[in-house]
């Protein structure tokens, strides 16, 4: 019996193990960079502010893409994702998460600048 090499897929259990091993490493690198940027904010560096603005802009862009089908139907003011098509619900959630992360970073920056 001859096996077809084109049907080969990466094993899901190996992918899970790799993700579980890589997640803490990626998390530590992210937190180190984040706290390093917070220390730089105290010295007057505004890179974290511009990162937050970029995240918010990308989130608003994704939200406008997700809501574009509703805008074409004339529904300009709707809340929630019930009326969105199924494929845009995930995009809408990601957009909201990015916007919330940006707001949290900006509030953190405001707290740092108010105590400096």
Three-state secondary structure along the chain? CCCCHHHCCCCHHHHHHHHHHHHHHHHHHHHHHHHHHHHHHHCCCCHHHHHHHHHHHHHHHHHHHHHHHHHHHCCCCCCCCCCCCHHHHHHHHHHHHHHHHHHHHHHHHHHHHHHC
For 57, the token pair is 């802009």
Predicted local confidence at residue 28, as pLDDT: 92
**% pLDDT > 70, the chain:** 83
Is residue 77 domain-resident?
A: yes
Q: Is the pTM of this model over 0.85?
A: no
Q: Which of 57, 61, 67, 72 is nearest to 89 (CA)?
A: 67
Q: In total, how many domains does the chain have? A: 1
Please determine, for residue 1, whether its predicted confidence score (pLDDT) is greater than 80. Answer: no
Range of the domain at 86: 10-115
Is residue 39 domain-resident?
A: yes
Q: 103 with 49: CB under 8 angstroms?
A: no
Is residue 3 domain-resident?
A: no
Is residue 4 domain-resident?
A: no
> Distance (Å, rounded) from C-alpha 95 to C-alpha 90?
9
Predicted local confidence at residue 56, as pLDDT: 95
Is residue 103 domain-resident?
A: yes
Is residue 5 domain-resident?
A: no
């Amino acid at each position: 019996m001859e096996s077809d090499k084109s049907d080969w897929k990466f094993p899901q259990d190996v992918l899970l193990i790799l993700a579980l091993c890589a997640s803490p490493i990626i998390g530590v690198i992210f937190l180190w960079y984040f706290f390093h940027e917070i220390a730089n904010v105290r010295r007057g560096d505004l890179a974290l502010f511009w990162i937050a603005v970029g995240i918010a802009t990308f989130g608003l862009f994704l939200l406008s893409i997700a809501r574009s089908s509703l805008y074409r139907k004339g529904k300009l003011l709707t809340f929630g994702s019930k009326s969105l098509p199924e494929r845009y619900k995930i995009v809408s959630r990601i957009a909201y998460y990015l916007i919330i992360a940006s707001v949290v970073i900006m509030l953190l920056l405001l707290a740092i600048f108010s105590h400096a």
